Amino acid sequence: TQLLEQSPQFLSIQEGENLTVYCNSSSVFSSLQWYRQEPGEGPVLLVTVVTGGEVKKLKRLTFQFGDARKDSSLHITAAQPGDTGLYLCAGALGNTDKLIFGTGTRLQVFP
């Protein structure tokens, strides 16, 4: 069974702080995607990383794909209350690109 472990599971921080979320696996993925999910809604795609070592930036969010394509990180600079939510990493496997989802990180940013 392929597993994607995310850490930390929960994170409560003050507005303005920086944070990093980690996503680790023993499996090699063809690509890795980060999503954010609000209660009662579907996951919203933030980014897709494909190449080992790739770094992508989305405003205050920086995503990195590990060199071996087994792990990834999400770094948020100067977090804001609007960043509050559930962050999910998902690795694409094999020819079908079916996604294996991580265990999730629930972020709370207090004003």
Partner 1 sequence: NAGVMQNPRHLVRRRGQEARLRCSPMKGHSHVYWYRQLPEEGLKFMVYLQKENIIDESGMPKERFSAEFPKEGPSILRIQQVVRGDSAAYFCASSPPGTSRQYFGPGTRLTVT
Determine the Cα–Cα distance for residues 22 and 105; give it in Å rounded to an integer.
9
State yes or no: residue 102 binds partner 1 (CB under 8 A).
Answer: yes
Q: Is residue 99 a contact residue for partner 1 (CB under 8 A)?
A: yes
Say which residue the tokens 């998902």 belong to. 90
Are 72 and 34 spatial neighbours (Cβ–Cβ below 8 Å)?
yes
**x-or-dash pattern for partner 1, window 28-47, by CB under 8 A?**
--xx-x-x----xxxxxx--
> Which of 8, 16 has the CB closer to partner 1?
8
Peptide bond into 111 cis (omega under 30): no
Q: Which residues bind partner 1 (CB under 8 A)?
A: 30-31, 33, 35, 40-45, 48, 50, 88, 90, 92, 96-104
